[in-house]
A and B are shown apart, each in its own frame.
Chain A
Amino acid sequence: METLDFRFASKPVSRVADPALCGVVGSGNLEILIKTGSEPAACRVSIKTSARGFGDTWQAVLGSFAAGHAAGGTEIAINDMGATPAVVTLRLAQALAEYQGGAQ
């Protein structure tokens, strides 16, 4: 098990709603909890992952997400069981869309 923490600058999220939970903790999958954070122009992410040694990949995947989406003002907690970057990217997009309560 490895714990990773990141902070990325990101445009403020367009609409704030209730915390959203997406995905499941299962092999090759992950669970994402997204809720309101303290900094409007930053996205904080904390990860617990079963796959050690992929810090650089996480940084790239999450950095790309924070740059491509307005995710500022959120805190994201991830429980990962070896999801591929493809799964992580899809789940992040789904979780953010849920968090915004239907806004795209």
Chain B
Amino acid sequence: MNRQDRIRNFCIVAHIDHGKSTLADRFIEITNTVDKRDMNSQLLDSMDIERERGITIKLTPTTMKYNYNGEEYTLNLIDTPGHVDFSYEVSRSLMACEGAILVVDASQGVQAQTLANVYLAFDAKLEIIPVINKVDLPSANPEKVIKEIEDIIGIPADDAPLISAKTGLNIESVLKKVVETIPPPKGDENAPLKALVFDSYYDSYKGAVSMVRIVDGKVRAGDQIKFMQTGKSFEVTEVGIFNPKNSECEQLQAGDVGYICASIKNVSDTKVGDTITLVNNPTAQPLEGFKEALPMVFSGIFPLDGSKYEELKDALEKLQLNDASLHFEKETSAALGHGFRCGFLGLLHMEITNERLEREFGLDLITTAPSVEYKIKEINKSPYLISNPSFMPNPQAIEEIEEPIVKMEIITPPEYLGNIMDLCSERRGEYKNMQYLDENRTKLNYIMPLNEIVYDFFDKIKSLSKGYASMDYELCGYKPSDLVKMDILLNGEVCDALSIIVHRSKAYKRGKALCEKLKEVIPRHLFEIPIQAVIGGKVIARETISAVRKDVLAKCYGGDVTRKRKLLEKQKEGKKRMRKLGSVELPSEAFISILKIDD
């Protein structure tokens, strides 16, 4: 048996919350990769946000040793994100594997992300091992789920292990199946080096670190390597594997999953999807890379304190080192000053990025309402894209506006069909077809404008279906649409950061809701403040914040000046967190209030 025959490279794919990370934890435990006392749950979710929210954002590989029939096998596992925003991360990790474990929740069955991910695995020609998780739950119905997998996905599942990652039931049988069913890598150790970069991150000591799958050849410290796409060469300083923390090893060979450090200063030099080869013995043909992930949602991010612009820039650059899908460019707003227009994969990605900026870099931010990218055709000009409503030209100059549309797939129990279909049509969805998967599940297909789903569509679907429905979407092009730019006037002045692009049919409702929401979040001032929603000079909605007429008149009790002073200081702090627009002070939440509108 040669070296590669004892290697298995696989990942775990699943719908969000079906138990990927817990299963990964059990594998690590069983194979004694980490000391029991160092185990903390969701081991591979290293970010605080990941642990808190119970989601995986970054893919994280780990190398485990497993004894099977007296032989020691090396199992390289890559945990993947389950949220729709991060499906591009999934597709990347699949390229580094020969097989995938498909985890399906025994009571929830096949969900939209299950399907989306399993199709990605099919595309990558992976061997798929279905596993039924959470069989310990009282609501578990493994037989039904097995049937579902066979009917809907079309792979045999009668011998799928019935496990509980939480209690540790039957975990061993999954590992056995991994060894038995997933084919070993078939690279050529003696061929020139060919390594696929499937991810990279920045380490402040080692520089940009590439996570690689060695397809052919071998690499060790001291080798001169070359990134075939960028053409740049570096000297390798360290190679190693993940178990699950980085641990240095002598060399990486065909079939291995590991990392390469080469004192690379810019993460942009380690492009994900690039092929690494040796300078003095290069391979002829690079590997097929991945499509770059394109941002779909855009929003402005501004420092609350205008003088922190440089710090924000720094923080974004650092985040980008580990998150190639984050895009940003400079933006200047009349209301908010200097900041950045940032592109995200989706709303969750945006939320997480914001949270990380605030938490890891201690920044206070103002985030404007998310927007999608519109295609503007002006008369006698070639079409261009805008993601910032304030760049929208005069309506008279516009010949046509196109908006991005997506193919939407929703799986729901039939009792919620009515509600969900209502929601979809309200969101300008175009019904395509419906498919009964079984008596408990229906698949809906819609074509929808992206701008109708970026705000709260996912949450809405969840709440309309008591959490049972799931969704997945992919961009499928642009479509002309009757869109208008709506401005918000505060005390008669336009606040550019509150402008949005909206479909004409919804402008009135949205404008009214936005005015009402702003009335709620803007504190009362000493004077009256009119809030107006305006389209092309025409006021379509108005609210008024009445002036403050009374504030604290408390007794200065027994000389307790401190209490009063602290109260004032707190209010002053609160004031500092406000942005002054003309004479009106806006709290930072005003800028994303549009997100919280219920329409």
Chain B associates with chain A: no
